[in-house]
Structure 1
Amino acid sequence: MDQSSFFLKTLALFTATAIAEIIGCYLPYLWLRKGGSVFLLLPAALSLMIFVWLLTLHPAATGRIYAAYGGVYVCMAVLWLWLADGIMPDRWDIIGSLISLIGMAVILLAPRAN
């Protein structure tokens, strides 16, 4: 697999993982802090199970992969801020997200003498 397809596949997996993690944490927040239905805990639990399953698909369960995943998580959290909370990201949110993605790319694509 060439480096660009590895990067795109990993980015897609990181994105799906971040979405599952955010949903799994956001729904209990709605129940606990916003007066939502207790039944929000069922899709939250399902989402967290999917999150854990997706973690098993990552190339490794170690520091570098999780550090790279963190960059994508930051971007998904800012997107969630906009889509779920209705708060438009400002230029600093966008700049920070781009820096996170650049950091993720550096970690994933750096040449290493394995």
Structure 2
Amino acid sequence: MKALLIYPLAALAEIGGCFAFWAWLKLDRSPLWLAPGLVCLIAFAWLLTLVPSEAAGRAFAAYGGVYICASLVWMAMVEKTTPDRWDMIGAAVCLVGAGIILFGPRG
């Protein structure tokens, strides 16, 4: 499925873009971090338009579950903070919900 490739790429772009702003404002990094951050956020928005869905809201809602899981992966890999069992349970619930939204039968 096309969405199974697009959503993880969109999540990487969104998290990277948001982290650039976080680094600038919270970690006292250079404002130069904003340039790649903006490029990432533009890529994120463009990628979501590629999801095959007749409703933008449905595509965005399903993306939410993927974003939550990707955020925990980012936390583990980039921020070196291990997700706890509640993080993992919550992410699994969100991912199941995203799957229902995205792949549920429509009339």
Give the number of the structure whose alpha-carbon radius of gyration is greater: 1
**Percent identical across equivalent pairs?**
43
Q: Distance in 2 between matches of 1:12 and 1:94?
A: 21
Tell me, what secondary structure is at the counterpart of 1:80?
helix
Q: Flag as ranges the 4+ runs of structure 1 deviating above 3 A.
A: none
**Is 1:41 matched with 2:43?**
no
**Count of residues in Structure 1 that have an aligned counterpart in Structure 2:** 106
**Is 1:16 matched with 2:9?**
yes
> Structure 2, unaligned stretches of length 5 or more?
none
Offset at 1:85? 1.4
Q: What is the RMSD of the two structures over their aligned residues, measured on CA atoms?
A: 1.2
> Structure 1, unaligned stretches of length 5 or more?
1-5
The aligned counterpart of 1:102 is: 96
Is this contact kept in 1: 2:6–2:51, CA < 8 A?
yes
Which of 13, 32, 47 matches 1:54? 47
After TM superposition, the score normalised by the length of structure 2 is: 0.91
Offset at 1:95? 1.0
Letter in 2 for 1:17: A
The aligned counterpart of 1:3 is: none
The aligned counterpart of 2:81 is: 87
Q: Distance in 1 between matches of 2:39 and 2:57?
A: 26
Q: Distance in 1 between matches of 2:97 and 2:25?
A: 34
After TM superposition, the score normalised by the length of structure 1 is: 0.86
